[in-house]
Structure 1
Amino acid sequence: MMELQEGTPMFPPLDAVPDPHRACTQLGRILNSIGDKWTIMVIGVLSDGPVRFNELRRTIGGVSQRMLTLTLRDLERDGLLTRTVYPTIPPRVDYELTPLGRTLIEPLRALSEWAVTHQAELAQAQASYDQRPENIRAAGGS
């Protein structure tokens, strides 16, 4: 994981990026693509190696066949996993992260660790925000 020293910017200065709006748009697209819980869970399970559909579904738990199928198709479309069909009876299908998909493991692990570490602080900040009088009124409260 990348460690930042105090005073070291996490991102390059905007004037050093040829098109900062495009860079943010690209980041937004990938976050939308990988940001739902099923996608994150699929990547987590596949980080250990190839897995068959039913094993993937059992390991994740709570995901419908349709939702898992859609998630896998989206990941395949983005080049993050491969689907290999073996000509057996019945057919065997394995799903595996591509080299590109494997590059997501560490950033997602770091983000997951951050979320777990800071969940109490986030919950407290949200509760404090929700209790402000102007936010209670805006939400339709008294």
Structure 2
Amino acid sequence: MDEYTDLEALSHRALCDMAQVRPVLDKIADKWTILILTVICPKPSRFNELKRRLDGITHKALADALKRL
């Protein structure tokens, strides 16, 4: 019986941990956000510089991704 109780407790804890992590994953889990982070992590960049470095991103997609971040 203790084994099942321990498994239930671990399962509940994992679900609680996921509830805390999920909002962060939702913010960074799209194509452009990861690419934006790889550009701005080494040094801050202005909007137009980011747009030039991220070939193919639209103005709206960049603006929306930056707002989410």
Change (3 A) 1:67 1:47: same
More helix by share: 2
> d(CA) in 1 for partners of 2:46 and 2:8?
44
Which contiguous aligned blocks of 4+ residues in structure 1 show a shift greater than 6 angstroms? none
Change (3 A) 1:14 1:27: farther
TM-score normalised per structure 1: 0.39
2:56 maps to amino acid: G
Identity rate, percent: 32
More strand by share: 1
Q: How far 1:52 sits from its partner (Å)?
A: 0.6
The residue that corresponds to 2:18 in the other structure is: 24
> d(CA) in 1 for partners of 2:51 and 2:8?
42
Q: 1:1-142 to 2 correspondence within 5 Å? A: 15=9, 19-75=13-69
- Contact 1:14/1:20, CA 8 A, preserved across alignment: no
Unaligned runs of 5+ residues in structure 2 are 1-6
The residue that corresponds to 2:3 in the other structure is: none
Find the residue that maps to 1:39 and give its secondary structure.
helix
Show CA shifts across 1:45-95 (max 9, x none): 0012110100001101111101100100110xxxxxxxxxxxxxxxxxxxx
Unaligned runs of 5+ residues in structure 1 are 1-12, 76-142
1:49 maps to amino acid: K
Q: How many residues align?
A: 63
> d(CA) in 2 for partners of 1:74 and 1:34?
8
CA RMSD of aligned residues (A): 2.2
Q: How far 1:20 sits from its partner (Å)?
A: 2.8
Find the residue that maps to 1:51 and give its secondary structure.
coil
TM-score normalised per structure 2: 0.75
